[in-house]
Amino acid sequence: MMRILAIDDDPVFLELLAGMLRMIGYGQVTTMPSGHEALHELDFSGMLYDCILSDMQMPDLDGAALTAAIRQRTAYRQTPILMITAMSGKNAVDEAFAAGATDYITKPLDIIELRARIGMVDRLLAERRRLAEFARLVGQRAAAAEIKAEFETPIIIPGFERGIEFLAMENYLLTLGVKRMYSTSAFAIHIKNASIIFNKASGATYVQMLGDVAAQIVDALKTEDVMIAYAGSGTFVCMTERDLGQTPDDLEILINIGLMDFETIYASDRLPVPQVRVGEPARSAFLSPTKPTRIIERAIQSALTPPDKRSKNGQMVA
Amino acid sequence: MNDLSPRGAVLADHPLAPAERLFRKLAGERLDILSTAWVRLESGRQVPEALVEIRSVAHKIAGTAASLGHSALGWHATEVERLCDEGSGRQELQRALRPLISGLADLVED
């Protein structure tokens, strides 16, 4: 059964949350009244929690700061963290996603929403357990083969600290109101030779290559306020509410020059150096309601398409 | 929400009954905080401190009351929290506080 740690400074809310979780079949809930006590619990209780639910607005250590602190603990790098927030606290949710939260739940609690969100976490954990069990049963070599079979999967890249989970990015988009949706743009960075490297390299080497590209992207965007996630299939997605200080072409050159520094290492593995293509930014079209995650799809489509084959004005509208 | 009593509160054997009991237990304490803050607003003394306390209590009630069947109380608390966040005027805030304090008092008397 899923072991859940719930944190809120209101004891009534903790009782309510624990009660609702019991109602939907999750009885192993530990509650903590503050972020500091939660961190102490994680560090010294000897219990490994499967999921963390934290209030956003707490005195001393708020939800975003707590999320960042939890993510620094190796055992909790990938643990689903769900933020609990009042509807009015959407701006704070941005910070939580940037700090590494997986999803959010709104107050007052609705049992149907809670069931849906926790159910999603349950399925995510089940999939991770399946992969871990597979690796344990058939050994490292076959585990690498399993990575090969999952080319399209938005895996978590080890060491990619500035990245957030792709699922979290999609969830973030769903939290934006109409106004902010229109001011948000997404662009994608696609590794043009990802599938070639994927077919030639071991699973571990391929993941390492993704880490190299991620590091170059972070370096090239270090002065920009962007969220970055790996979407699978050799493609990263970036999202921002501001105009970038550089054009897609300049960004592409910057990343590719950085990657050329790894030429010798890739040559020793008889692999080509990864080279990227940066797509045009995609925005939501005014007066044309589409599902919020559509801009991600359009951004990826642009990065997959060579510039001479894109539409004339370049910019992708969702 | 299932199994609500005619008054909107949770029945004793319901899984949410412990939360409901605690909500009622803390209602008196929260009523005292809001009443003291009201007096401060009225007198114009320690107003910033009063606003912080009002917002904190309203935020907590807004986050739980409706889920426990106290929809009106939750709505009034949400309104008070919103007015605090928007920096509304004293009179407007006091007007919004009145039904919240009254609702808490009813709960304490139950």
Query: Domains plus CATH for chain A?
Result: 4-123 (3.40.50.2300), 150-317 (3.30.70.270)
For residues A82-103, give the mean pLDDT. Answer: 78
> For residues B4 and A179, what is the distance between their CA atoms, to the nearest angstrom?
38
Contact A19 B15 (CB under 8 A): yes
Residues of B in contact with A62 (CB under 8 A): none
Q: What is the mean pLDDT of residues A49-57?
A: 94
Question: Is the predicted pLDDT of residue A91 greater than 80, yes or no?
Answer: no
Q: DSSP of chain B, one letter per residue?
A: --SB-TTSPBPTTSTTHHHHHHHHHHHHHHHHHHHHHHHHHHHTSSHHHHHHHHHHHHHHHHHHTGGGT-HHHHHHHHHHHHHHHTT--HHHHHHHHHHHHHHHHHHHH-
Residue A142 has pLDDT above 60, yes or no: no
Chain B residues whose CB is inside 8 A of the A27 CB are none
CATH code assigned to B17-109? 1.20.120
B23 at A interface, C-beta within 8 A: yes
B73 within 8 A of B65, measured Cβ to Cβ? yes
B30 to chain A, closest Cα gap in Å: 12
Query: pLDDT digits over A297-309, tens only?
Result: 999 999 999 988 8
Q: Which residue from A10, A88, A111 is facing B60, i.e. has the nearest CB?
A: A10
Q: Per the CB < 8 Å rule, is B67 touching A108?
A: yes
* pLDDT tens track for A188-245: 999 999 999 998 888 888 888 998 999 999 989 887 788 899 999 999 999 988 777 7
Kindly report the backbone phi and psi dihedral angles of residue A54, in degrees, each rounded to the nearest multiple of 5, phi listed first. Answer: -130, 140
Report ipTM for this prediction.
Answer: 0.87
Q: Which of B59, B73, B84 to mutate to test the interface with A (most CBs of A within 10 A)?
A: B59
